[in-house]
Amino acid sequence: MKKGVKIVTIGGGSSYTPELVEGFIKRYDELPISELWLVDIPAGEEKLNIVGSLAKRMVEKAGLPIEVHLTLDRRAALKDADFVTTQFRVGLLDARAKDERIPLKYNVIGQETNGPGGLLKGLRTIPVILEICKDMEELCPDAWLVNFTNPAGMVTEAVLRYSNIKKVVGLCNVPVGIRMGIAKALEVEPERIQVDFAGLNHMVFGLDVYLDGVSIMDEVIEKMANPDTSVTMKNIVNLGWEPEFLQALKAIPCPYHRYYYKTKEMLEEELEAANTVGTRAEVVKQVEAELFELYKDQELAIKPPQLEKRGGAYYSDAACNLINSIYNDKRDIQPVNTRNNGAIASIEDDSAVEVNCIITKDGPKPISVGDLPVAVRGLVQQIKSFERVGAEAAVTGDYNTALLAMTINPLVPSDKVAKEILDEMLEAHKEYLPQFFQTVEA
């Protein structure tokens, strides 16, 4: 095995980067990184320099020989990379704020990865990720692409369908958060908990939960129904579940399921927040401003605890564990987004799914779950249709396909409302959607 791993992080100016760097430092004995390249765009240069300086201080404090490079030249960074991680946001947080605010005008949930906001984020993001894939094919054809950019399911779907990159894994911190949350609710160490995950990104279910190898599903469902011990995330308000509903579902929903099973209450919460504290993007802008002020401190050489507020807890553990397991052929079990290959019977084999996999040097090997329970199958299939049609719209720039994707999303009440929202959102994001406007202007 060659000495010295080269890792490239696209979106390196992200506030999450210190968490990633911390994860690499912790695992250096197993994952000997020689070069870490943090890449960003001109609009993110200031943040890149602040975060990059902190990353260098963290590495120096750890006394490790990792070279940290900061660049706006993606192609220079990608040359001969072993792993490429992506964590970028096209249009930055201002675009996310539009994704959240515009649908609310139509009494539709505005959210980063679900409903109209998720579609528009996919339309902006997929052309960029496919450009990165082209660069990788040319400059580092053997590298693994580890995508954390949302909507991770739709983005992974697009890479599998519309690029020649075979080594791609989509990653999300939600399953890790669920496992940690269950462990906390049960007051046991997380290592003792194993969850059978299956579904899609932000649409994943825990089909069974084990403590020391013994199923404890009934006990966990009881805990999840209680708002005090239920699992959520910093960016999703913790509305409890009806206990009888969860008992009948016989599966652990992820925090994002609240948008589908508690649509009315979540919409009310969002409208209230938008009129008072602001949408999630507007809150995050404030959190980020505070984080970057902290990051500027030349004395700071660790990941500050305030980063937990950002909603991406466990991101580094997910990303670093995955890279470490591929590099060292660990063959441990991790939930990731990968090609289905028959793991979930009611989803096409060539589609992206989020499912437990054995992680090998050849990538994730999905563990077969057979079919999803009938109670959750239809919703998962509907969201998969949305992801597939959305990815096609992103690649073709076809208005009708985008409208179809918007309309089949369960959070959008009608084709008429879908059209109104789509028209306003396309116009609002025009500068990041050239594929939809070139043809019109031509």
Catalytic residues: 256
Q: For the purposes of burial, counting CB atoms within 10 Å of the CB of 219, is it exposed (0-12), middle (13-18) or buried (19 or more)?
A: middle
Residue 440 carries which side chain, given as an amino acid letter?
Answer: V
Instruction: Reduce the DSSP state of residue 412 to 3 states and report it.
Output: coil
Q: Tell me how far apart the alpha carbons of residues 202 and 180 are, in angstroms, rounded to a whole number.
A: 16
Q: Tell me how far apart the alpha carbons of residues 125 and 327 are, in angstroms, rounded to a whole number.
A: 28
Q: Report the relative pairing of strands 144-147 and 193-200 from DSSP bridges.
A: unpaired
Are 263 and 413 within 8 A, CB to CB?
Answer: no
Q: Tell me how far apart the alpha carbons of residues 398 and 420 are, in angstroms, rounded to a whole number.
A: 16
Q: In residues, how long is the chain? A: 442
Q: How far is CA 329 from CA 11, 360, 361, in A?
A: 27, 4, 4
Instruction: Reduce the DSSP state of residue 359 to 3 states and report it.
Output: strand
Q: For the purposes of burial, counting CB atoms within 10 Å of the CB of 248, is it exposed (0-12), middle (13-18) or buried (19 or more)?
A: exposed
Residue 419 carries which side chain, given as an amino acid letter?
Answer: K
Helices (H), 202-360: 217-225, 243-249, 258-261, 263-275, 280-295, 315-327
Q: Tell me how far apart the alpha carbons of residues 59 and 119 are, in angstroms, rounded to a whole number.
A: 38
Q: Tell me how far apart the alpha carbons of residues 197 and 213 are, in angstroms, rounded to a whole number.
A: 15
Q: Tell me how far apart the alpha carbons of residues 241 and 135 are, in angstroms, rounded to a whole number.
A: 45
